[in-house]
Amino acid sequence: MNITVCIGSSCHLKGSREIVTKLQELVRKEKLEESIELTGSFCMGQCVRGVCVTIDGTLYSLSPEQTEGFFYKEVMGRLTP
């Protein structure tokens, strides 16, 4: 599974770095390094929304506070259907 976080300037201002750090911690905590690849991306053209994050191409918008909930619902939800 590939998770991409936008690190364009608008998303950066909304906390994309924080989201990347949180996702890295969660991936480590759940020992999912083998299954999840985290990458950064430049502007995805959706700056008006929250920080843009995609899971295998599906777009989500997050705030740093939503990262953990997002991880358990969307990421873990996809891994363990």
Site for ligand FES in 9-68 (CB under 6 A): 9-11, 43-47, 52
Residue with tokens 């924080």: 18
**Of all helices (H) and strands (E), which one includes residue 17?**
helix 16-29
Choose between 21 and 35: whose C-beta lies nearer to ligand FES: 21
Choose between 45 and 77: whose C-beta lies nearer to ligand FES: 45
How many other C-beta atoms lie within 10 A of the C-beta of residue 69?
10
How many other C-beta atoms lie within 10 A of the C-beta of residue 12?
14
Size of the site for ligand FES (CB under 6 A): 11
Binding site for ligand FES (CB under 6 A): 6, 8-11, 43-47, 52
